[in-house]
Amino acid sequence: MCYGRYVTIVLKMFIKLNYIFSISYRIENNILVIGGGFLLMKINIFALMLYQFDNKSGLLLTFIAIALVITIVFMLINMRRRIVAEADAFEAKRQLEDNYVKLEEAYEKVKHTQKELAQKYEELKRSEERNKKLAFTDYLTDLPNRVAFSEKLDHILATIRPSENIAIMYIDLDNFKNINDVLGHSYGDELLIDVTDRIRQVLDENDFFSRFGGDEFIILTQNFVDEGEYEQKIKKIQKVFSYPFVLSTREFFVTTSIGVAFAPKDGKTTQMLIKNVDAAMYVAKGMGKSTYCFYDEKINNSLMDKIELQSELRTAIENNEFDVYYQAQIDLEKDRIVGFEALVRWNHPTKGLITPAGFVQVAEETGLIVPIGQWVLLEACKQLKQWEEAGFTEINIAVNLSARQFKDADIVETVCEVIKETKIDPNKLELEITESIALENMSYSIAMIQKLKSIGVKFSLDDFGTGYSSMNYLKHLPVNNLKIDKSFLDTVMEDQNDQKIVSTIITLAQTLDLVVIAEGVESNEQAVFLKNVHCDKAQGYLYSKPIPQKDAGFLLEKLRERRNHANLTLEQALREAEA
């Protein structure tokens, strides 16, 4: 389409050139126009004359020149096309290269972003795993925790077949708090790790072992034959606690209280099973150390009674429903009262008078024994001061300290405040702790007894013979008195071996400068035997049962009258006072 336009342009150029040449034709210079291929296109007259060309030849040359120009034009057009095409190709290539560079840069950015995203994903995944581990794993023992156990039990209960049984074992370490208090929490943690390792040794693939919190562990077991077979697993676990744990180069024996429940028999939900196995564990703890208990429906009733008792005890403290009763202690050689043991009683508004056996264990477990014990100590010291002011200056008062009281950090301060408030002579106050309390932590017991003795208070070791019964440890305890447990006297008149044991205890104790007091004397034969083996003091129903404060005062008055009536024996005075 464009060729006609180019031809027109060329013809116009040629006409113009021809016009220009017609003018130059007459110029007196030699003019020749040479085209492509060195063909002569134009020549003026002077050149003709000079080179002797004719006009026909010149005309031919003119047409040849026109053809040559047209050819050149087409060549230029094609050349332009090639140049434009090459320029376009070059530009396209340059743009392609630019785009490739940009694409490379974008690709590198994508790769970098992808790498960052991958790193962040891995970090997020690790963080999720850490959080999941924290949420479901105990940090100390690396065992599954309470949450993990509950989820596991939920899943099993949801998929359990009617013919299947599962067992839950709740393990509580006895007196773990003492190790924490004495050695510190780092040693307590070390003990928990050692306990974990020992229990793991006797478990198999059917057991899901977790730490439930504190010093409590729980084991979920599947695929066992019957309760008899499962009981063997319990005994294996108990056996791993039969040898000592070494902490801070010292050996400690640790015992356990174990509760057991079975599903679906003892509960069909996680919450119910945990509640019931926990109740069974507390029953085992109440039965003594290193024991286990299978859940029974009666346990729930017992637990409800305990919860009710806890509530009533709190109310009793607020309403001052407690009384102090006094049981006389007799000097066997002088045949006279030398003191009283203060014993608490609970005047329940509906159940009547309740002895310590009916509430002390619950009070101890809940910590309520501390305020109750402090009140008894204060009331007993007030009474001692009243008797002293009434002229009974030779009377001592003995007050029991519970395990919780004895371990209380403020016990020394509490005793000092009571002595200061009541203005009693501290030498007339005797504090009693049981053998088991004293031996639970010997170093603590020795230190605490020495502190209290430094202010003048005396100490008695109660229930001797019911625990470790070793004279070897006795020489290390800085106590003043030793009380022989009633269980020895119950059969002393029928069993010669018991007679030998009691006689030996008295002899060895007196060798250590200890005053020996026999508890639970109920017959004249027992009293005579004790005198014959030189026992220092005695108390029991033979002389006086625990009596209220006013009756104890009346008894002391009767004994005062006895001094003025030589024929009045101690037994007669006691009977008259009792009447």
What φ, ψ does residue 530 adopt, rounded to 5°?
-65, -40
- Region 565-574: what's the mean pLDDT? 62
Say what the pTM is.
Answer: 0.57
User: Would you say residue 406 has pLDDT above 90?
Assistant: yes
C-alpha span between 26 and 42 (Å, rounded): 13
Tell me if residue 166 falls in helix, strand or coil. Answer: strand
User: Would you say residue 41 has pLDDT above 80?
Assistant: no
Q: Determine whether 493 is exposed, middle or buried from the number of CB atoms within 10 Å of its CB (0-12, 13-18, 19+).
A: middle
> When comparing pLDDT for 47 and 527, which is higher?
527
Residues 274, 398 within the same domain: no
Q: Are 292 and 234 in contact (CB under 8 A)?
A: yes
Selection from 547, 538, 530 nearest residue 570 by Cα: 538
Residues 290, 339 within the same domain: no
Stretch among 22-31, 328-337, 394-403, 557-566 having the lowest mean pLDDT: 22-31
Percentage with pLDDT > 90 across the chain = 47
Q: Are 266 and 286 in contact (CB under 8 A)?
A: no
186-244 tens-digit pLDDT: 888 999 999 999 999 999 999 999 999 889 999 999 988 788 889 999 999 999 998 88
From 98, 133, 162, the end of a domain falls on 98
3-state helix, strand, coil in the chain (%, to 5): 60, 20, 25
Look up the domain containing 73 and give its range: 3-98
Residues 424, 555 within the same domain: yes
Residues 409, 543 within the same domain: yes
User: Would you say residue 60 has pLDDT above 60?
Assistant: no
Residue 104 in any domain: the answer is no
Q: What is the DSSP string of 234-291?
A: HHHHHHTTSS-EEETTEEE---EEEEEEEETTT-SSHHHHHHHHHHHHHHHHHH-SSE
Residue 557 — pLDDT band, cuts 50, 70, 90?
Answer: confident
464-507 tens-digit pLDDT: 866 555 566 788 889 999 999 888 888 888 888 889 989 998 99
Residues 413, 556 within the same domain: yes
Residue 28 — pLDDT band, cuts 50, 70, 90?
Answer: low
Residues 398, 514 within the same domain: yes
Residue 16 — pLDDT band, cuts 50, 70, 90?
Answer: low
Residue 250 — pLDDT band, cuts 50, 70, 90?
Answer: confident
Cis peptide before 264 (omega within 30 of 0): yes
DSSP 356: G
Residues 286, 376 within the same domain: no
- Region 142-163: what's the mean pLDDT? 91
Residues 344, 477 within the same domain: yes
Q: Name the one residue in this structure whose structure tokens are 């002391």.
A: 556
Selection from 328, 354, 339, 338 nearest residue 542 by Cα: 328
Task: Report the pLDDT value the prediction gives residue 56, as an integer from 0 to 100.
Answer: 46
**Domain of 474: which CATH number?**
3.20.20.450
Residues forming beta bridges with residue 324, ordered by sequence position? 344
Tell me if residue 119 falls in helix, strand or coil. Answer: helix
Best mean pLDDT range from 40-44, 85-89, 289-293, 567-571: 289-293
Please count the structural domains in the chain: 3
User: Would you say residue 357 has pLDDT above 70?
Assistant: yes
Task: Report the pLDDT value the prediction gives residue 59, as an integer from 0 to 100.
Answer: 47
Task: Report the pLDDT value the prediction gives residue 78, as an integer from 0 to 100.
Answer: 74
Q: Are 44 and 25 in contact (CB under 8 A)?
A: yes
**Domain of 196: which CATH number?**
3.30.70.270
Residue 38 — pLDDT band, cuts 50, 70, 90?
Answer: very low
C-alpha span between 359 and 311 (Å, rounded): 12
Q: Which amino acid is at 318?
A: E
C-alpha span between 429 and 426 (Å, rounded): 5
- Mean per-residue pLDDT of the chain: 84
Task: Report the pLDDT value the prediction gives residue 95, as an integer from 0 to 100.
Answer: 80
Q: Determine whether 43 is exposed, middle or buried from the number of CB atoms within 10 Å of its CB (0-12, 13-18, 19+).
A: buried
- SS3 of 527-579: the string is HHHHHHCCCCEECCCCCCCCEEHHHHHHHHHHHHHHHHCCCCCHHHHHHHHHC
Residue 449 — pLDDT band, cuts 50, 70, 90?
Answer: very high
359-387 tens-digit pLDDT: 998 999 889 999 999 999 999 999 999 99
Stretch among 3-12, 48-57, 90-99 having the lowest mean pLDDT: 48-57
**Please, what is the Cα angle at 452 between 483 and 550, to 5 degrees?**
60
Residue 34 in any domain: the answer is yes
